[in-house]
Structures are given as C-alpha cells and as structure tokens.
Homo-oligomer: A and B are copies of this chain.
Amino acid sequence: MRSAGKRAVVLLSGGLDSATALAVARDEGYECHALTVDYGQRHRTELAAAARVAKAMDVPMRTVAVDLRAIGGSALTDDIDVPEAGGEGIPATYVPARNTVLLGLALGLAETLEATDIFTGMNAVDYSGYPDCRPEFVAAFERLAALGTKAGAEGGRFHVHTPLMELSKAEIVALGSGLGMDYGLTVSCYQADEAGRACGRCDSCRFRAEGFRAAGLPDPTRYR
C-alpha cells in the first residue's frame, strides 16, 4: 500500500523494534522523518545506531535532547544496576512517563512538518511490564493529540501507528528482514559497550537473541 506524499514521523531509538517500525512506514509509502530522542540514557551507543539506520534507509533524522536524568527514577538513566533476569511486574528499567514525553516530542515535530502520522516500535508482548506500551495508552495519546494540537483543533486527527504492538520478537525480526532491514546496524543491549557490542545477558539481549533463534534467522548482533 502506498499513500503518495504522506509524511510520517518515526521515533527511532537505534534498537531493533524502532528500526522495524521505520521499515514498515517506508514500505507503506510514507515520506519518513526520523526523530531520535537523547534522553540521557546510559546506552548511548543506541544514538549512533539510530544514525546508522537512518542513513542506511536514506531518511532525514533529527535529534532532540531532553535530560530525563533530572527527573530520575530508572535503571536506564540512573546509576543503579540493570537487572539481568526477567522478573514480575514493572521492570526497574521503566523510565517514568518516557513514552508520554517521546510521543509528545514526535507530535510536536509532526505538527511542524504538517504530518498526522507517527510510527513507533512500541510492543506489548515482550515488555508487557511497561504500562506506557499498551494499546489503551496509545489510544489515549491519540485522543490527547487530537485535542491538544493546532491541526486537531482545526478538525484533523493524529494516528499513532504501532505495527509491532502484537508481534513476538521472532515475528518482528521476520517482518523487518523481509523488508530488507539490516539488524546488524541496530543495538538493543541496555549496556552495550562504546563500539555497540552487546552484553548478551540483559533482558533486552535475551529477548533479541531468542527472536532470531525462533525466527530461524542468523543473529547479526555483535557480542563482546
């Protein structure tokens, strides 16, 4: 399906999921604008990965810096240990209100670009512990966007596309591979080293490796 001339803002983190969301948006015919948010995350190699992915996909990318460390409360931005094994409930890596802020920034860029479509790699399966990765949250955000924007006030609406929401990691990997995504460019590890090499032990590494295994695809991840 191609929708000629339609623009979309794609939240691009440099991880596997958002790269797949970008591949889907491009495949659906959107003129894509990547937005990478530098929120003081510890896995800063993700930012370099996002730039690699945007370049490979020939998509313009903007980076917005927001210092979520000033707010605190998460293992991803604070100096506390990233847990290595999966547990019950909401993970320590949950960043307070992160997706509200990220989607808010994407919405701002969409308004500036006169786009009404936003793509994210949000997923409710592997990370069901994050409250702000659920379909109800996305629906509530779309409603907020319609009420809180100039375009919305003038009768328009915003659509937050979450093409990966209900997919397993194996299905995501198969989807992106089919669209030509080179996952060797992406970094998922919460504690990748400066060269972007993964630890192979954190939750994110485990989900990712299992995804390639279950999809029957070679794992291009560089481990240290």
Q: Is the CB of B107 within 8 A of A104?
A: no
On whether the beta carbons of A97 and B101 are closer than 8 Å, the reply is no
* Interface presence of A134 (CB below 8 A): yes
A112 adjacent to chain B (CB < 8 Å): yes
A98 partner residues in chain B, CB cutoff 8 A: 108
Measured CB to CB, the closest approach of chain B to A44, in angstroms, equals 17
Q: Is B73 within 8 A of A96, CB to CB?
A: no
The count of residues in chain A whose C-beta lies closer than 8 Å to any C-beta of chain B is: 45
Partner of A148, one of B67, B71, B97, B147: B97
Q: Taking the full assembly, how many copies of this chain does it contain?
A: 2
Interface residues of A in 149-201 (CB under 8 A from B): 149-150, 152-153
B109 and A132 contacting across the interface, CB-CB below 8 Å: no
Hey, which chain B residues are within 8 Å of A108, CB to CB? Answer: 68, 71, 73, 95-98, 100-101
Which one, B65, B103, B132, B143, contacts A65 given CB within 8 A?
A: B65
Residue of B nearest to A72 (CB): B112
Contact string, A37-80, partner B, CB cutoff 8 A, digits 1/0? 00000000000000000000000001111111011110000000
Identify A140's interface contact among B64, B71, B134, B148, CB under 8 A. Answer: B148
Chain A: residues with CB nearer than 8 A to chain B? 62-68, 70-73, 90, 94-101, 103-105, 107-112, 131-132, 134, 136-137, 140-141, 143-145, 147-150, 152-153
A-B contacts, 22 of them at CB < 8 A, read A63-B70, A64-B70, A65-B65, A68-B108, A71-B109, A72-B112, A73-B111, A90-B150, A95-B108, A96-B110, A97-B108, A100-B100, A100-B104, A100-B107, A131-B147, A131-B150, A132-B149, A134-B147, A137-B144, A137-B147, A140-B143, A140-B144
